[in-house]
Amino acid sequence: MEQDEDVDMTATSSPSLLKRNASNSSGDHDSKISAGLDQEAMEEEESNRRERAVMERIEQEASAKLDEEIRQEEKMNRKERAAREQLEQEIIEDKEGEEREQLNIEEKEMLLMDKAISVLPSLPYFHHHIISKRRRLDGGHGMVDDVPDVSLFKNTIQTLESVIERLKSDLTRMEAAHARGSAELGRWWQESKEKTRIELKEWMKLPSRKAGKAEDQDSRPSYRQSKYQKYGRQMCMPEIGFDGQIKLTKSKVLIVGLGGLGCPAAGYLARAGVGTLGLVDGDTVETSNLHRQTLYLEEDVGQSKVLTAYGRLRQMNSRIHYERYDYRLTPEKAPKLFDQYDVILDCTDRQSSRYFISDAAVVTRKPLVHASALGTMGQFMVLNNPPSLIDGNAHQGPCYRCIFPKPMRPENSRSCAEAGVLGPVVGVMGIVMAMEAIKLITQPNSTPWYMIYNAYSKEPFKMLNLNRKNQNCVACSEKCTITRELLESGSLDYDEFCGGRINYDVLEDHQRMSVRDCKRLMDSKPQEHVLVDVRDKVQFDIGHVKGSINLPISTIYQSPDAGLGALGQELDFQPTLGKNPTVHFICRYGNDSRLALRQILDSQRIREHGTLDYGRRRYLMGMDVIGGYDAWRKEIDPWLPDY
């Protein structure tokens, strides 16, 4: 074997020498013509011989030491060797540049490096030799140096060129210093040398020598040991085991949305040691997020969610790779992004994104972990698992469209801002997502399931049998019409598909007034105007405009006429009102109040009489307050709670 190596080495490390030898022999031939040239040729040959000797010695040293490594390697039993290869592969992939497990190798290679630098011309060949040998050590293909790696060679030349460019500028600076007799010269010389050393090492992809030396070898566990320590408690679970941990280490998980679901999911997956964690979100942290979005602190308000999350996650586990996508995901971008991952987590908060994420997961054939939460309730599903359309997979799991072929109208869907949400409720769902992602990575055959969580129910967790593979699904069946091309073209309007926005534009302009106008009316003629707040009682109790009356919009929806009756009854108790007061409507942001006033104006009572006659008074229906409670707080009364 050693013999082989030697033959190899001479064959590949000396193309330049062979060429020079060829030109030397032609020089011998020319000697008949000129004896002077003979002398020159002899000198050149002598210097070539010396150079070759130096190179051969260095290469033999390198070869002998690396061969020793190979022999060591082969003594290890099969299993340990497989494990070691896996872990060594990870070390090389680790972009942070980790401490090599065997400092010995590092020391020896460093020594060789320093020598290699002194024989600059043969460096490209030497580099090629070391790299290809290391590839073989790492379980790569082929014999050492059997095929010259042209791209590696080119890369080497380019690196050397850039080093030489810098050396030239260093030289200019040092020449100037030399001419001035500057004392700085010595320092610059050292600096230049150090820079060259660092640049060449960077190019050889060897860890910094200093870092290796500074650590006490005995007190610091090796990279591998620290990994066993970190993941040991989950690795010794039969569900995970060594193989499962390796699968996790190699896995790539994408988290779309870093809100109440995404934060805990990302935290647990980072800690579990997935290989790559992709983070997508275009939002910044708001104070109202803090009660449930566990990666953010008070000081982060106003900062990018993705960048803040990245910082926190790195503190939890610095040894995994993170990809940051600091933007709102669109249907056009989704397929290309999903291609790079193994599992997708949908942690978004809008119906339209739920649909396009499912569609993109189908066209890229990725399992999708889906959850949502609102108020005291959460829902969870694993979709597209096993992924679709692989050889007409009969066991293909349903996609989001199989279960919800038609979107619900926006007025039926409430957001966390409107309905509120409890931190632990959304947290539970996010953690279930992380668990399911781990299962998908380590035991990919787990069956799809659907679960709902009702925090205040006697039976908080409920498993549902939702076997709804739709044979006519537009996204994932054989009859599908949603294709990757269509998705990427951007021609699918998911907002439109989901019914766009709720139409709040139900009043004439003269039926609306600003908070300042409203305040002026109330102050100038308090007997003639009254303000009705249509938020629900819980919100009304948190804070309300002084003197306003609460009539929840749900009461009006239940029956506008009955709502008017309730209103009349309530207002009857107001002693300060005059004979014919006007009723104005306010809500949180100025949307529901418009719908409420519309309902009332359309009620039978108002349509027939034009006014609400109740008790001693006749009430006129007035206006809606633009911007609602929120605008009132901002413009009139900053002491009102900003909940």
Active-site annotation, residues: 416, 587
Residues 460 to 479 in contact with other proteins, rule: CB under 8 A: 462, 464-468
Give the phi and the psi of residue 400 in degrees, each rounded to 5. -60, -35
Left, alpha or beta for 268 (phi > 0: left; psi -120 to 50: alpha)?
A: alpha
Contact track, other proteins, 516-555, x by CB under 8 A: --------------------------------------x-
Residues 6+ apart with CB under 8 A from 158: none
395 is a contact residue toward other proteins (CB under 8 A): no
| Unique residue bearing structure tokens 């009969």 | 394
211 vs 419, which CB is nearer to other proteins? 419
Return d(Cα 422, Cα 416) in angstroms, integer.
Answer: 9
136 is a contact residue toward other proteins (CB under 8 A): no
291 is a contact residue toward other proteins (CB under 8 A): no
Cβ at position 352, least distance to other proteins in Å: 9
Contact track, other proteins, 236-275, x by CB under 8 A: ---------------------x-xxxx-------------
Return d(Cα 185, Cα 33) in angstroms, integer.
Answer: 49
240 vs 373, which CB is nearer to other proteins? 373
Q: How many residues belong to the site for other proteins (CB under 8 A)? A: 50
From candidates 327, 461, 557, 643, binder to other proteins by CB under 8 A? 557
82 vs 416, which CB is nearer to other proteins? 416
Interhelix angle for 262-272 vs 423-442, to 10°? 40
Cβ at position 480, least distance to other proteins in Å: 19
Cβ at position 615, least distance to other proteins in Å: 25
393 vs 457, which CB is nearer to other proteins? 457
Residues 30 to 89 in contact with other proteins, rule: CB under 8 A: none
Residues 6+ apart with CB under 8 A from 628: 586, 587, 588, 589, 590, 591, 593
Return d(Cα 294, Cα 334) in angstroms, integer.
Answer: 26
304 vs 348, which CB is nearer to other proteins? 348
Return d(Cα 495, Cα 331) in angstroms, integer.
Answer: 11
From candidates 102, 217, 229, 558, binder to other proteins by CB under 8 A? 558
Closest CA to 571 of 535, 531, 539: 531
Return d(Cα 57, Cα 462) in angstroms, integer.
Answer: 73
Cβ at position 258, least distance to other proteins in Å: 10
Return d(Cα 517, Cα 626) in angstroms, integer.
Answer: 10
Residues 348 to 387 in contact with other proteins, rule: CB under 8 A: 348-351, 354, 371-375, 377-379
Cβ at position 337, least distance to other proteins in Å: 18
Closest CA to 197 of 130, 117, 123, 119: 117
| Unique residue bearing structure tokens 């940051």 | 324
Cβ at position 612, least distance to other proteins in Å: 18
626 is a contact residue toward other proteins (CB under 8 A): no
Cβ at position 426, least distance to other proteins in Å: 7
58 vs 369, which CB is nearer to other proteins? 369
3-state secondary structure (DSSP) of residue 530: strand
593 is a contact residue toward other proteins (CB under 8 A): no
503 is a contact residue toward other proteins (CB under 8 A): no
211 vs 464, which CB is nearer to other proteins? 464
498 vs 626, which CB is nearer to other proteins? 498
Query: Residue 90 to residues 97, 327, 471: CA-CA distances in angstroms?
Result: 11, 29, 43
Cβ at position 1, least distance to other proteins in Å: 59
CB atoms within 10 A of CB 94: 13
* End-to-end alpha carbon distance in the chain: 76
Residues 292 to 321 in contact with other proteins, rule: CB under 8 A: none
From candidates 415, 489, 491, 569, binder to other proteins by CB under 8 A? 415
Return d(Cα 415, Cα 501) in angstroms, integer.
Answer: 13
Pairing of strands 582-586, 549-550: unpaired
From 63-71, 194-202, 325-333, 557-565, span contacting other proteins (CB under 8 A): 557-565
3-state secondary structure (DSSP) of residue 605: helix
28 vs 602, which CB is nearer to other proteins? 602
Closest CA to 262 of 302, 299, 301, 305: 305
Q: Which residues bind other proteins (CB under 8 A)?
A: 257, 259-262, 347-351, 354, 371-375, 377-379, 403-409, 411-416, 419, 421, 426, 452, 454, 457, 462, 464-468, 554, 557-560, 599
